[in-house]
Structures are given as C-alpha cells and as structure tokens.
Amino acid sequence: MLVSWKWLKDFVDIRLTPEELVDRLTMAGLEVESLQENVPSFTGVVVSKILSVRPHPGADKCFICEVTTGDAKYPVVCSAGNIRPGNVVPLAKVGATIPGGYTIRTSKIKGEVSEGMLCSEEELGIGSDASGVMILSEHLSPGADLASALDLKDVVLDIGITPNRADCLSIAGIAREIAAITGSPFSYPRISLPERGEDIHGITSVDILDPDLCPRYSARVIKNVTIAPSPLWLRRRLEAVGMRAINNVVDITNYVMMELGQPLHAFDHRFLEEGRIVVRRSRAEEKFTSLDEKERVLRPDTIMICDGVKPVAIGGVMGGLNSEVKEDTETILLESAYFDPSSIRKSAKWLGMNTDAAFRFGRGVDPEGVIRALDRAAQLMAEIAGGTVCKGHIDQYPKKVETAGRIPLRIERVNDILGTRIGEAEITETLKRIGMLIEKEQEGHYRVTPPTYRVDITREIDLIEEVARLHGYDCIPVTIPPVSVKPVIRDSREVAKDRIREILRGSGYSEVITYSFISPSAVDCLLLRADDARRNLVKIENPLTEDQAVMRTTLIYSLLETMKKNANVGCTDLKVFEIGRVFFQRREGELPCEKEQLGCLLTGMRSDHLWSSKTYADFFDLKGCVENIFDSLKISEIRFMHDYRETFLHPGKSCGIFIGDQPVGYAGEVHPDVLVKMDLKNRAYVLEIDLELLLRNFKDVTLYRELPRFPMVLRDVAFVVDEGLHAAGVIDLAMSAGKELLENVSVFDIYSGKSVPHGRKSLGLRFTYRASDRTLTDDEVNVLHNKIVKSVVEKTGAKIRGEEH
C-alpha cells in the first residue's frame, strides 16, 4: 500500500527521517518495500501575478501579459484564454526547466518579446489539467518558489500489509501504528459538520433485509453539490497513493477510504426509485450491470444494494451504472456500511472484481468506524463540492458485529513462548499503547480487550505476538535448544539417492531438474498404447499453458525435451539424468500415486575430445552406467531381458531391467519414429528405473571377501554361434558346466564378417579357472576346459573357431 508522508502527518507528529521510519516500521512488521521521494520535475518556476493582458497585434489567439514577481516585471506571450489581470499564476522564468526536457529561453513570437512561460498543471507535471494556465491561490506571494509555495514535495512509502493487518489498510491505520512505535500521540482529523436544511428521514430510508450479510448500514444526504474536478491538493494526494482522480464527489469517497480505511459509495439520489435503499441478498441468477459497464451474473448470497425497485450496487464490491454520479448530479446519497467479510471475499472472487473496496471489506473494516467515515466524507463534500449536508444521518445497525473482548493473558505464558523475561509492566504498557483495554484479574493474569479495528486479535497468542513485535524481535535472546539424545539416522533412501548421483556424476552424467508437468500430447509422442497405465494422467484444472497441463507419468519425455533444447543451442552431445516423481491418476477424490524415478539420457559422441576418438555413444555406454549403479548399491541379481518392450524404444536395441523376476525399469535406444515426432535428429539412449523398487533391494552393507591365495589359469576360446544367440546364455551354460573351479567367464571379442559364415558370429570367451586350496595343474585345467567347451558345443550347436572344417 502506498502511503504519503505528508498525509500521515495529519494524524501523527513524526520526528524521524524517512529512512529511520522505514526501519522502524519494517522491524515492527510493516515491511516497507520502497521509499520514493516525490519532487516536482521542474526548476525555476515561481509564483507571479498578472498585471495586464492585451491581445497580440500579430497573432490572433495570443495575448501579451505583463507579470510581476514582486521585484521584477516580465512580458510573456501566452495563448491561454483563461487569464485575467490580478490572477496569480506559475511563471517559468528564462532558464527554467519543465517536464519533457524543455528549457525556457527569451524568444520573439511574431515580433513580440516573451521572457518566460505561464504554465498549466499538465505542463508542470503536477496535475492533469491542460485546459489553461494554472490559476493559483491569491494568498501566494509573487516571487516565491512554486514547489515550496504549493508544498509539492512528499515522500511516498510502499508498505506490504500482511493479510492479518486489515487495520493498516489506511493512512490513519499506519499513523496509529507509527504513534504506537514512536510514542507520539495519534489523533483523527477533527470533523466539523454544518448540517442544514431538511432532515434526512424526510428524504430517504434504509431497510436491511439480510442483516447476516449487512449488519450495519449508515447514510447521509448531501444536496446542491457541484460536480467538478477536485482541488489540486486532493488530486495530488490521491495520485500519491496510486488512485486516479475522477470528480470531486467520487474523489472524496476514495479519499476517505484511503484515509480511514472505510470504503464509501455515493449514489445520485435522483436515480434511486422511491428515493430509498433496501439491502438484500441476490436472487437466483440475478443479473446486474456494474459501473464498469459489464453485465454480470451474480452468485447466490451476493449483497445487493437496491432502491425501492431494483438493485443499484453490488454491496461492498462496486456501484451500479444506473445510479452513478454524473456531471449534473445535485443530490448525493452517501453510503457507509459494514458487510460480512467472508461474503464479500466470495463475491469478489466469483466476480473477479478485487476492487479497493472489496479488498478492505473482505479483510474486515472497523464496525465502529462507519459513522466517522460517513461524517468525514460529508464534511469534505460540503467544503469542496459546495454541498449542503442534510440534518441527521441514518444508522441501521440491526446486528451487532462481534469483536473479541476480554481475552485472557498470562504474563508467564508470554515469556514461556518468547524465551524472555519481560516484566508485567512493560507487557501491559505495550498493549495499552496499541489501544488495548487491560483489566487485571490476579497477579500475572489479565483480561485484554482489543480496539474494534484490530479484528485479527482474538486469542492469547495474538496478544503475545503484539508484545513480541513492539518489544522488538532484536531484543529477544538467542538460545539453542538442547539436541535430543536420539541420534539422527540418515534415511537409507537419501543415502542411496546421493550415491546414485555420485555414480552418475562419475560416469559423466549431469543432473537436470525438469518441470513435473508436461503436455498431454506427450503420451502420443511416446507412442504409448491405449491401455498403457502411463495414460492415466493427472490433469491440472488451471494450467499456465497447455504444455504444462498434466503431471508426468514418465521422465523420458522431459529428458527428450531437454535434449531438444540443448540441440537448439548447438549442444548435441549430452549425458543427463534426473531424479523426480511421476504421478498416476487414481479414483476421483483420491490423491494420485506418486513414484520416484531415475531417468538418464545419452546422445552424441562418447567423449568430448574431437581430436581423439570420434565414436558415437551407444546402447552399451548406457548399460554400463546401469551396471555401475547396481554395483554401487550392492544389488547383484540384476538381469537385462530383451523380450521386454517399450513402444518408444528401438525393438532391437532395448531391454527390460530386472532384479530377480521383478521388472524395475528399462533401457534402450529411442525409437526412430519418436525422434521424428519430437523433431530430434540424433540417436538417443534412455533409461528409466523405479527408485522405490530399486531402493527396496539396496543393501547399505559392505562385507570383505578374502583375496584368492592361489594363481588363476586362463583359457580363451572363440565359439561360432547363431547370430541370435545371446552371450549371456552361452556364459550361463559354461558356468553351470564348470562347477566351482570355473571362477568366471567373460566376453573378450565379438566378431561377424569375413571368415565367419553368414548368419553366425564369433563369440570370444575368456575362462578363468582357480581353486581355493591349491595351484591348478595344466592337465587338470585342460580336462575340465575341454569338457565345458564340449558341453557348450553340444547344447548350442556352436563350432570352435579355427576348427570349423
């Protein structure tokens, strides 16, 4: 909320610099977000008096004026027709600067010398009136600096008001707070109201049909107003706090709202049928055209302000087009009311009309401040718009607005919560400073009644907060609570996830974080089958964009998008991973199923150095990374199964990843059709693993195994087998034939082409033999090795390379 320093000073004497005040307010919970000095954007402009005006002999619409600044006289050529001898006007002297970067110089206009310029409000940037030269008060003395004569300098604070502090949504509210912080006295403006002529009760009446929505409604009638622009000081104050000036009557209602926090509404009385006000709740499907000329359908239970026949305003939100103040308005019916905050909030939200009035009613205005605001506005209408305030006011108050009272307060509790030793006297004095009524019940026990504008204070803890805030958070000690005896055991899932990050980092993968929401078309991009569970998307009702309209059910799409974004900036080599959740829709009203997944993507060159090897990464680079992860998590029962199919993976270069018989994820090359759909050019390899399932098998235990004491014996053999035969199958066969002396079988070569028959491949295997209790002899190994090789040959139809013929 914008707050004018000058305006504040109407209520409280501030003996601080603006910077000091900013600090004090901020440390008391009214955060000052910015401080701006409003200084006029002109220099060298002074007050002058017109001595004479005569027509310009050479130019039709121009005049030659003689003006005085007291000690000197100047001839000035001017084209405005609103000036008369005797007028006091602003003179921009030679050398003056005015907004827009203009500097005034002596000039000759059609033969006549002009030494300066008489300015309009608009030309000086202090108002919007551009109709003629600005006519100043006759009391200003010629020669005086205009900026100081008009008191144009001000400081404007922008204060962030937290939702609980409805009482601070006004200049008076802030001033009250400043008074409490600084100890200066606070006082409301004195209202003197000359009531004349007719009694209001003869002119109008107010009936509240639904007091639950409108507990209080007060009104005054002001006759004979003249609608005109507001005086400069009023307009400038409104503009300082960010409001646009409209006309004097409307400006006064806004002015009083900003000043006292009570929204008001002015009706043109002649448009009120039967001349009276009825307050009721809206009828089903009721329609209404508000001031902004939009027809609106109202929610049930909207507060409607009506005349004898029809609605004329949406209570507390916005006035109606049918009763607004017009240029020829003469009689005003002024409304000052208290509306149910919750009802206002609902209506404002429903209508999408978060007006200044609705905002304040919604947060809760002071139910006892209604009449003060009504009288203040009536006074200003008399003073500024020339109105006659009719005798008396109407104050319908059928339902007392309950505010909290007699809240119990224990001194001990204050210090227990804050960790302080604030004395009883300081606590009670502090509360009194902010208008609280204190009754002592017994030693250390009090009853506290907050002022009616402090709608946020209803409980003991609210009082404790007030004490803490005004005592100063800075003055509260700093202590460390004893650490519990129970040691912190790091969640094994966290440990495992950090270990995965570490392994992947070491393997060259960088972590990415992508949005959890994706485009609903993602599932089509990935060619998911109609019955794929990943089509059970959780939809967002109010997404920011269609691209972010559903929660993802796989990380792959996000990773492919990351690849695309990088390709667009020339990074075609990419190794990335993400740890994030996926979401599956369950029944309506139930929370979705959330699963944490690991996803990796690999594309481009295997390594960064172009000058050395220029090979592209492939499936096995990715697989190696999976193996590393499993290895580091001590999960040994990992299996890669080819007959597991993902629609978005290359059918020949993909596999399911299993722990025992449990599928935990997949890895493979992205299907070329998916690349096309996503407009990607390079091959990419992806994997996705369900972390819940993976971590269930994670063993955070390391057991040392004795190093072998006897040497190993190696035997290499190349089998020529069918191309379709899996290496793992051959190895399994060999291992089962080898018993305990065969320690390991590994692949050392894969070859197909020249010297290997078509449709076959050469599979080079290295056998490692070792006994745990002796050194094996060559003969012993030869016998066993030949037996194993024979067994493999028999079971697979393999030939031994070099012995095919």
Partner 1 sequence: MLKELEELQRQAEAELSSAKTEGEFLAVRTRYLGRKGLLTRLLRNIGNVEEEKRPLFGMRCNEIKEAISGKIDTALAKLASLRREEVLLRDKVDVTLPGRTHRYGRVHPITRVRQEICSIFAGLGFSVVEGPEVELDYYNFEALNIPKDHPARDMQDTFYIEDNIVLRTHTSPVQIRVMEKQRPPVRILSPGRVYRPDSDISHTPMFHQIEGLLVDKGITFADLKGVLTSFLKQLFGEDTALRFRPSFFPFTEPSAEVDIRCVMCSGSGCRVCGQSGWLEILGSGMVDPEVFKNVAYDPEEVTGFAFGLGLERIAMLKFGISDIRLFFENDRRFLEQF
Segment interacting with partner 1, rule: CB under 8 A, options 168-176, 245-253, 430-438, 465-473: 465-473
Give min distance, CB of 474 to partner 1, in A.
7
- Residue 698 binding partner 1, by CB under 8 A: no
| 87-116 positions binding partner 1, by CB under 8 A | none
Q: Which is nearer to partner 1, 575 or 770 (CB)?
A: 575
| 534-593 positions binding partner 1, by CB under 8 A | 538-544, 548, 551, 562, 565-566, 569, 571, 574-577, 580-581, 583, 588-589, 591-592
| 326-345 positions binding partner 1, by CB under 8 A | 342, 345
Amino acid (one-letter) located at 759: G
Give min distance, CB of 554 to partner 1, in A.
16
Q: What is the dihedral of CA 539, 543, 546, 548, to 10 degrees?
A: -80
Q: Which of 473, 616, 620, 748 binds partner 1 (CB under 8 A)?
A: 473
| 222-241 positions binding partner 1, by CB under 8 A | none
Q: Which is nearer to partner 1, 425 or 488 (CB)?
A: 488
| 16-75 positions binding partner 1, by CB under 8 A | 26-29, 31, 33-34
- Residue 515 binding partner 1, by CB under 8 A: yes
- Helix (H) or strand (E) holding 378, with range, is helix 370-385
Q: Which is nearer to partner 1, 268 or 465 (CB)?
A: 465
CA count, 13 A, side-chain hemisphere, 32 = 22
| 474-513 positions binding partner 1, by CB under 8 A | 474, 476-481, 483-484, 486, 488-491, 494, 498, 501, 504-513
Segment interacting with partner 1, rule: CB under 8 A, options 135-143, 162-170, 238-246, 396-404: 162-170
| 434-463 positions binding partner 1, by CB under 8 A | 459, 461-462
Q: What is the dihedral of CA 54, 57, 58, 59, to 10 degrees?
A: 40
- Residue 662 binding partner 1, by CB under 8 A: no
Q: What is the DSSP string of 658-709?
A: EETTEEEEEEEEEPHHHHHHTT--S-EEEEEEEHHHHHHT--------PPP-
- Residue 352 binding partner 1, by CB under 8 A: no
| 593-612 positions binding partner 1, by CB under 8 A | 594, 607-609, 611-612
Are 351 and 314 within 8 A, CB to CB?
A: yes
What the block records as the tokens of 398 is 């059928």
Are 215 and 400 within 8 A, CB to CB?
A: yes
> What is the chain's alpha carbon radius of gyration, rounded to the nearest angstrom?
42
Are 59 and 109 within 8 A, CB to CB?
A: yes
Looking at 237-323, which runs of residues are DSSP E strands?
Answer: 264-268, 277-281, 287-289, 295-297, 303-306, 311-314, 318-319
Give min distance, CB of 363 to partner 1, in A.
5
Cα distances (angstroms) measured from residue 454 to each of 25, 356, 357, 429, 466: 18, 19, 18, 17, 11
Are 422 and 477 within 8 A, CB to CB?
A: no
What the block records as the tokens of 403 is 């505010």
Cβ-proximal residues to 671 (8 Å cutoff; 6+ apart), any chain: 527, 647, 648, 649, 650, 651
Label residues 700-709 b or e (16+ Cβ within 10 Å = b).
eeeeeeeeee
Q: Which is nearer to partner 1, 249 or 457 (CB)?
A: 457
| Binding-site size, partner 1 (CB under 8 A) | 92
Q: Which is nearer to partner 1, 398 or 444 (CB)?
A: 444
- Residue 285 binding partner 1, by CB under 8 A: no
Give min distance, CB of 104 to partner 1, in A.
34
Q: Which is nearer to partner 1, 565 or 739 (CB)?
A: 565
Give min distance, CB of 349 to partner 1, in A.
8
- The separation between CA 115 and the C-alpha centre of its own chain, rounded to angstroms, equals 54
Q: Which is nearer to partner 1, 345 or 795 (CB)?
A: 345
What binding mask, one character per residue, do residues 398-417 give for partner 1 by CB under 8 A, x or -? ------------------xx
- Residue 695 binding partner 1, by CB under 8 A: no
